[in-house]
Chain A
């Protein structure tokens, strides 16, 4: 067994009196897709926001690639190699595909000894084409504002961006929400492709079929606590639902 890429130990996050994440520990191994399941308000988003630098956990430890880490800001998590795709994709709809892939990290030409810098749009377009091709994503045009793209296409842009910037762990918060069925399939296909390229994925979802379509492992949360952890082959949908609603709870039975 190789070492886990990400391990979380006894993480706690409180909002005032509310304990949104309560003593959660988990490991993510190289090249696996882990589904994070749970009802509304179970604490899934809060948990991953603690990993991606949006929140600072109140207690507990995060180790990334073997080292203890702390991410005061999202940019710190990103530069460590943790890319998070939220329910809103953090894309600028008024800009084109390359501009979005390079958002905040634009490539520049330098003139007059660096005094004048212009955008190197040609190079960025070439890079965007390559990174989309590597994921087998093809668009009619990369130079239109992405507001003319479909939801799934935009999801693909966000994924391509994460890959381009060498994500070593990808976190996706309900990526198939608000997508039509064919587009959901494409996004799941992209997730498999990520795993095949060795990038582990944490997939937050409410959607049971998604879980069985792509996940290797499943973690269920209920009211801030991790109530179970199963390999996909060892469980089924109705059992998972029971964990989600709190009817089953491994911590309770083992305690």
Chain B
């Protein structure tokens, strides 16, 4: 085996153990940060106010709060891993909210049962959103216009359409019953005498007992969890996910190995618009109204969540779990600061600082790896 001696150098690991350790920490920092932050707020809120940070109710509030930001971030995660960007998701969410409100109202008024009307709402909202994604993807993939420009442009167009379709920003007159889909939950827990744990069965309680009733896993949270699982599966276990990483890692390599890059990019923007669409429909259910302005303020928070979660804006790196953690970090920060009566502007300042720290940590990782190019 003289030949194997000639190849022996390939056995040496290219990175020292110390550098590997630093890399591991840089990958896990978001978890550590989230944990430390929760500990901090548990203590601080306990000391400075009469409330409890980690109560059942508060934790459920945090979960409900992350739903729209997380949904916008989930599709965005795929797009950014493939080295793209989708600036239209905020207004696409609004459009989906408006379209679903129209669909539900029209269907219900035409005598369609409530549940089916809600299903139609999802079809209209997510379908309309996906159509915008298709247009984004076609222009980006086929006409080779940078994603930043295309989605900036379509976001203005979609903004105009949302306002146009929404009869002055809000679509009202929806069946009252849809409130339950947006606000009721999988489990109920009534504390105190005569209380108990209820599954899929809202207890008939009133007065003091109603106040001590917690909704656990509200329907929007359940639906979002399902979307998270689907995205996890898509990104980690399927060819679709593998190609998403490959395109972001080295577009030339993807092209040369025969990956259908154009078609893949179109699918990515449709996926991104679709998760934004789900967010729009859920907001319609939650507020019993379609809103043409609900999504826009969430765009930057969702991108912040994705970046805090470790998705590289250069493409090629990131994970669904990371984005979930990123969204949780923002929601925990915001909720915690509110409970501490910290003025609202501080929330923005702190979130901004965390985003920049996240990117710095990401870059230190590249530095350790010797700033190797993404493709060879």
Interface residues of chain A, those whose CB is within 8 Å of chain B, are 74-75, 78, 86, 88-95, 99, 103-106, 108, 117-119, 136-141, 147-154, 156, 182-183, 185-186, 189, 193
Q: Are B317 and A119 in touch, CB under 8 angstroms?
A: no
B375 to chain A, nearest CB (A): 6
Check if B258 is an interface residue, CB within 8 A of chain A.
yes
Check if B342 is an interface residue, CB within 8 A of chain A.
no
Interface residues of chain B, those whose CB is within 8 Å of chain A, are 3-4, 6-7, 9-15, 233, 237-239, 241-243, 245-246, 248-250, 252-254, 256-259, 316-317, 369, 372-376
Note all chain A residues with C-beta closer than 8 A to B245.
92, 94-95, 99
Q: Are B238 and A117 in touch, CB under 8 angstroms?
A: yes
**What residue of chain A has the Cβ atom nearest to residue B7's Cβ?**
A136
Instruction: Tell me the complex Cα distance, A118–B373, Å.
Output: 29
Note all chain B residues with C-beta closer than 8 A to A139.
10-11
**What residue of chain A has the Cβ atom nearest to residue B11's Cβ?**
A138
A14 to chain B, nearest CB (A): 24
Note all chain A residues with C-beta closer than 8 A to B237.
118-119
**What residue of chain A has the Cβ atom nearest to residue B6's Cβ?**
A189
Note all chain B residues with C-beta closer than 8 A to A151.
376
New contact pairs (9) apart from A95-B245, A151-B376, CB-CB < 8 Å: A91-B375, A92-B249, A93-B372, A94-B374, A103-B253, A103-B257, A139-B10, A186-B9, A189-B3
Instruction: Tell me the complex Cα distance, A186–B233, Å.
Output: 39
B369 touches which one: A89, A147, A152 (CB < 8 A)? A147
Q: Are B4 and A136 in touch, CB under 8 angstroms?
A: yes
Instruction: Tell me the complex Cα distance, A150–B9, Å.
Output: 10
Given A78-B258, A89-B376, A95-B242, the answer on whether A148 and B10 have CB atoms closer than 8 Å is no
Note all chain A residues with C-beta closer than 8 A to B258.
74-75, 78, 104-105
Q: Are A92 and B254 in touch, CB under 8 angstroms?
A: yes
Q: Are A94 and B316 in touch, CB under 8 angstroms?
A: yes
**What residue of chain B has the Cβ atom nearest to residue A182's Cβ?**
B9
Note all chain B residues with C-beta closer than 8 A to A137.
7, 10
A125 to chain B, nearest CB (A): 14
